Amino acid sequence: MLPDRDAAEEAAEALGERFAIDEQPRLVRDALAGEDDAEDAQWLVVLRDEAGRLDPGELDEFAGEWDGWREEP
């Protein structure tokens, strides 16, 4: 979860480079409840790791570098 689209786009690109993932992460806008303004939205960088090869701690650290955080479904 990242604070804006620019950060999300940059983070998605950096994810592929740092973690050598095959799948391009998907960007999803997550508007805050009751808010219509584009400024009041967070962006999710959606990445599936069904094989479980990515370390959650490393992903937490990575998200923090972009002023974001990691969430699991």
User: Could you report the per-residue pLDDT of 10-69, keeping only the tens digit for each?
Assistant: 999 999 899 988 888 999 998 765 555 555 678 999 998 888 889 999 999 999 998 889
Please write down the long-range contacts of 37-42, taking CB distance under 8 Å and 24 or more positions apart. Answer: 41/4, 42/1, 42/2, 42/3
- Beta carbons of 46 and 26 less than 8 angstroms apart: yes
Domain ranges of the chain: 5-65
pLDDT tens digits for 47-59?
988 888 899 999 9
Q: Return the HEC string of the chain.
A: CECCHHHHHHHHHHHHHHHCCCCCCEEEEEECCCCCCHHHEEEEEECCCCCCCCCHHHHHHHHHHCCCCCCCC
